[in-house]
Amino acid sequence: MQRERIVNLRDEAQVGREVLVQGWVRTFRNDQFIALNDGSCLGNLQLVIDREATNDDIKKRITTGAAIAAKGVIEASQGRGQVTELKVMELEILGDADPESFPIQMKRHTMEFLREKAHLRFRTSTFGAVFRVRHALNYAVHKFFTEQGFFQMHTPIITGSDAEGAGEMFQVTTLDLDNVPKTEDGTVDFAEDFFGKTANLTVSGQLEAELGAMALGQVYTFGPTFRAENSNTSRHLAEFWMIEPEVAFADLASNMKLAEDCLKAILRDVLAGCDEDLEFLENRELQAEKQLPQDQRHEAPLRARLQAVVDAPFQHVTYTEAIDLLQRSKPYKKKKFKYPVEWGVDLQSEHERWLVEKHFNGPVIITDYPASIKAFYMRQNDDGKTVAAMDVLVPGIGEIIGGSQREERLDRLQAKCAEFNIPEDHVWWYLDTRRFGSAVHSGFGMGFERLVMYVTGMTNIRDVIPFPRTPQNAEF
Ligand code: 4AD
Ligand code: MG
């Protein structure tokens, strides 16, 4: 008999069917009712066993976390909260879970505790919901770009280039660190290393995606990226996934439109397809926020917030205007901001959050940042001070997308390389696209985990990726 997934057994039409289910016990009460979860959906299937006919030895082994198989008939449920239940005829314990030592019990565990048990936290309702939604988001991303005529490009994970120029890279080497080969002048001889030169884990697939876009027209990468920045925040990971579209013949305005369309399409899909999980996450958030003072709670429940993003156009503001708004804000005047607000400095998350949560109260695209705080590849504006950059900020997260129109003029790009100390022979291939058939083009990067946080309402990025990598932490 083939295993049936619980998600398919929950409607009235299933009544009368004889089925086999396999899953993990969530609870067992009154020696009779098992709540079984097989991961196919948030909801459990209620199994009803024959109290008298089932021997005590078996009953003792029906504990939270145990894997079991049950054969029986689907019946209409008399109990509340479920349409169907399984009247069990045969029950088999597949794998015991000793209640003395199984750490995931049916009580509220803290997120910190569950992070230490990340190998088992999938067994909780919260993480089941988060990872099903994560999957749906992943699928929605590929669907959106495919429907828009993009081609996915697999950009390299090991790279010789530092796309963002931030130097926060993990080095990849096969050199024996206890016995490093040296050149005559005493420096490490990377000619002896695996690639014959230094290599790193990529911080972004953008530069390579640009090369693809300049032939295939519109491409996107969606892969893991790595940053060795020592920032221990709730929004940073050392390993995260990024979606990076790149479009030829597209300027900043169409880049902004693509970002907005993309985010909206993805939200629409998960709102339609993940209602049960989102409802659970919404209630979870409401519960958690009961303990917070009113002004720290969300104004609307999770799904309503996401729907509002779908329904309203994103607001646009230039960096210069944003600085002006911030300087006229209450927290600025009351000296509540920790970091300075003046033209030329990067916006900190406290500033982004004020803009997006207090002032605009919805997604905002900030454009035209000072050239000095942005990457070398961004297109210079005519004012000589700013570049055609865009960051998309959303409430609760801050920056979710960063992108720009790219500098397509060879001489300007070469000047930028010089200014940023990027040797031309390191990026000769990138410069070549500006030598041969150069054209206006644009793209952006969306942090996938930030997207998952946004959609699930989870407040720590470590809780939306199965096994987070952060400073001092690479367990599992
Ligand atoms: O703004 P970033 O650094 O932009 C780039 O890497 C460009 N090459 C993208 C492009 O134009 N193709 O990163 C893009 C996004 C951020 O907006 C944020 O959502 C996410 O990636 N991000 C991180 N997410 C988790 N942990 C980190 N350490 C992140 N750093 C950036
Ligand atoms: Mg950025």
Domains of the chain, earliest start first: 6-102 (2.40.50.140), 123-168+203-463 (3.30.930.10)
Report pLDDT for 47: 97
Mean pLDDT of 115-140: 97
Residue 329 Cβ < 6 Å to ligand 1: no
Q: To test the ligand 1 pocket, which listed residue (222, 240, 349) has its Cβ within 8 A of the most ligand atoms? A: 240
Closest atom of ligand 1 relative to the 203 alpha carbon = 6
The rounded Å distance from CA 242 to ligand 1 centre is: 7
For the chain, percent of residues with pLDDT exceeding 70: 100
398 in contact with ligand 1, CB cutoff 6 A: no
pLDDT in tens, 16-45: 999 999 999 999 999 999 999 999 999 999
For ligand 1, atom 25, the nearest C-alpha belongs to: 236
Which pLDDT belongs to residue 81? 83
Give the number of other Cβ atoms within 10 Å of residue 84's Cβ: 19
Q: Is 162 in the pocket of ligand 1 (CB under 6 A)?
A: no
Ligand closest in space to the Cα of 404 = 1
**pLDDT for res 295:** 84
Average pLDDT, the chain: 96
Q: Which residues pair with 392 in a beta bridge?
A: 365, 401
The pLDDT confidence band at residue 105, using thresholds 50, 70 and 90, is: confident
- Ligand 1 atom, smallest distance to 206 CA: 12
Q: Which two tokens stand for residue 47?
A: 């199994």
How many angstroms from the chain centroid is the CA of residue 186? 43
Query: What spacing in Å lies between the alpha carbon of 391 and ligand 2's midpoint?
Result: 7
Task: Point out the ligand nearest to the CA of residue 168.
Answer: 1
Q: Is 23 in the pocket of ligand 1 (CB under 6 A)?
A: no
Instruction: Give the residue among 394, 406, 343 at the shortest CA–CA distance from 365.
Output: 394
Atom of ligand 1 nearest to the CA of 166: 3
pLDDT at 56 over 90: yes
pLDDT of residue 202: 96
Q: What is the dihedral of CA 427, 429, 430, 434, to 10 degrees?
A: 130
- Residue 54 pLDDT exceeds 80: yes
Tell me the three-class secondary structure of the chain, residue by residue.
Answer: CCECCHHHCCCHHHCCCEEEEEEEEEEEECCCEEEEECCCCCCCEEEECCCCCCCHHHHHHCCCCCEEEEEEEEEECCCCCCCEEEEEEEEEEEECCCCCCCCCCCCCCCHHHHHHCCCCHHHCHHHHHHHHHHHHHHHHHHHHHHHCCCEECCCCCEECCCCCCCCCCCEECCCCCCCCCECCCCCECHHHCCCCCCEEECCCCHHHHHHHHHHHCEEEEEEEEECCCCCCCCCCCCEEEEEEEEEECCCHHHHHHHHHHHHHHHHHHHHHHCHHHHHHHHHHHHHHHCCCCHHHCCCCCHHHHHHHHHHCCCEEEEHHHHHHHHHCCHHHHCCCCCCCCCCCCCCCHHHHHHHHHHHCCCCEEEEEEEHHHCCCCECECCCCCEEEEEEEEECCCEEEEEEEEECCCHHHHHHHHHHCCCCHHHCHHHHHHHHCCCCCEEEEEEEHHHHHHHHHCCCCHHHCCCCCCECCECCC
Ligand 2 center to 212 CA (angstroms): 22
Burial class (CB in 10 A: 0-12, 13-18, 19+), 57: exposed
The pLDDT-based confidence of 217 (bands split at 50, 70, 90) is very high
CA of 400 to the centre of ligand 1 (A): 8
pLDDT greater than 90 at residue 207: yes
Measure 198 CA to ligand 1 centroid, in angstroms: 23
Q: Whose CA is nearest to atom 28 of ligand 1?
A: 236
> Is residue 193 lining ligand 1, measured as CB closer than 6 Å?
no
pLDDT at residue number 181: 96
Give per-residue pLDDT as tens, 154-172.
999 999 887 777 779 999 9
CA dihedral (321, 325, 327, 332) in degrees, to 10, reads -150
Instruction: Report CA(336)–ligand 2 centroid distance (Å).
Output: 24
Binding site membership of 163 for ligand 1 (Cβ less than 6 Å): yes
Distance 118 CA to ligand 1 centre (A): 25
Residue scoring higher pLDDT (382 or 108): 382
φ/ψ of 161, rounded to 5, equals: -110, 155
Which pTM was predicted? 0.97
Ligand with minimal distance to 207 CA: 1
**Ligand 1 midpoint to CA 377 (Å):** 15
Ligand nearest to the CA of 448: 1
Ligand nearest, relative to CA of residue 399:
1
Read off the pLDDT of residues 277-322 as tens digits, 9 standing for 90 and up: 999 999 999 999 999 998 889 989 999 999 999 999 999 999 999 9
pLDDT band (50, 70, 90) for residue 134: very high
Residue closest by Cα to atom 6 of ligand 1: 204
Cα–ligand 2 centroid distance for 357 (angstroms): 19
